[in-house]
Amino acid sequence: MKTEKTNPFLISAGGYFKRNLGTIIGLLLLCLIAAISTDKFLTGSNLLNLLKSNAVNAIICCGMLMAILMGQIDISVGSTVGLSGVIGAYMVTNMEMPVWITVVCCILIGCLIGLINGIAVSYFNIPAFVATLATMSIGRGFTQIISGGVSIRIRNDAYTILGTKTFGGVSVIVLYAAVALLVTWLLLNKTRFGYYIYAIGGNRLAAKYSGVNEKLFNMLPYVYIGALCGIGGLIWSARLGSAAATLGTGFEMDAIAAVVIGGTSMSGGIGTVGGTFIGILIIGVLNNGLNLMGINSFWQDVFKGIIILVAVIIDVLRKSKARAD
């Protein structure tokens, strides 16, 4: 199992398994079903491919986890990925800008959208769903404007290599995802930033009365989410070698699903990177398995929706039971 990768510190592997027992069993069951249904599933190349195609989702999930930990949400992530990808492609192709400037710009664009989300949610008290719905539409609009509604072909090897390089068969984007998960784990478990996110999500008033600048620390995670989406867009367009106006469509769905399946409570305060990691794998296996079985992507959406509903219902039932005790 890859679980030890995200949790080499503090928590013993045993505690980790125990805490995420339900989702781990679910993951193994899914793998079993996939392996039985198609002999293509349990091959080295397919498993590597599975990791690669879910790497960007993992990066986005790192941010989504923070939003949901605060009892909020960010549905603008897919649109931000699209915007960053298209801007990246446009800058290196149409404007022939150096790659490093392009990378910095894409990340800054992500941060900017995150900043707008954060200010709207934290300082103007706009419900996160509404604020990020608005920025989602804005981002999508700009993506169309910049790309002119068509796909931009990227002809710059220095750029595409950011998404296509491999190390011993492992794609570089899997490494990006691993770094993002590790950094997020550190942020949440080892820094004041993470400490406050849990406090705000668990009991906002407690944070405020303890002298925490709860508005600032409610805003900052959105900037982090935005930066991650900026990186996600870069990687995705580099990997594909092109950026379409529809890039990133529906990414929010996979991210929310993975975080919620990973045991994060929609009402905030409870959730871990380790749990989310399993959620990401579950979504990955689901997508991959259904693809291999030749079931079309529309059905995948149906299944994912059902899984989110079930995961949230389980969370709510667990909560109300805890209250009754």
Binding site for another protein (CB under 8 A): 186, 190-192, 194-195, 198-199, 202-203, 205-213, 269-270, 322, 324
Identify which of residues 39 and 324 has a Cβ nearer to another protein in the complex: 324
Coil, strand or helix at 9 = coil
3-state secondary structure of 39: coil
Backbone angles phi, psi at 11, to 5 degrees: -70, 130
Rounded Cα–Cα distance for residues 242 and 237 (Å): 5
Residues paired with 127 in a beta bridge: none
Measured in degrees and rounded to the nearest 5, phi and psi for residue 124 equal -105, 5
Cβ nearer to another protein, comparing 46 with 203? 203
Give least dist CB 196 to another protein, A: 8
| Residue in the structure block whose two tokens are 């990006």 | 176
For residue 180, the minimal CB distance to another protein (Å) is: 18
Shortest CB 213 distance to another protein, Å = 8
Nearer to another protein, 107 or 270 (CB): 270
Cα separation, 287 vs 290, in Å, equals 5
- Tell me the CA distances in angstroms from 185 to 33, 102, 276, one per residue in order: 31, 28, 11
Q: Which is nearer to another protein, 5 or 192 (CB)?
A: 192
Least separation, in Å, of the C-beta of 88 and another protein? 31
Q: For another protein, which is the closer residue by CB, 70 or 253?
A: 70
8 Å CB contact between 93 and 152: yes
Question: Residue 210 is encoded by which pair of tokens?
Answer: 């303890």
User: What is the C-alpha to C-alpha distance for residues 286 and 169, in angstroms, rounded to an integer?
Assistant: 23
Minimum CB distance to another protein smaller for 171 or for 264 = 264
Q: How far is the CB of 20 from another protein (least distance, A)?
A: 16
233 closest CA partner among 242, 222, 220, 224: 242
* CB closer to another protein out of 57 and 122: 122
Minimum distance from CB of 92 to another protein (Å)? Answer: 35
How far apart are CB 26 and another protein at their closest, in Å?
A: 22
38 φψ region: left (φ > 0), alpha (ψ -120 to 50), beta (else):
beta
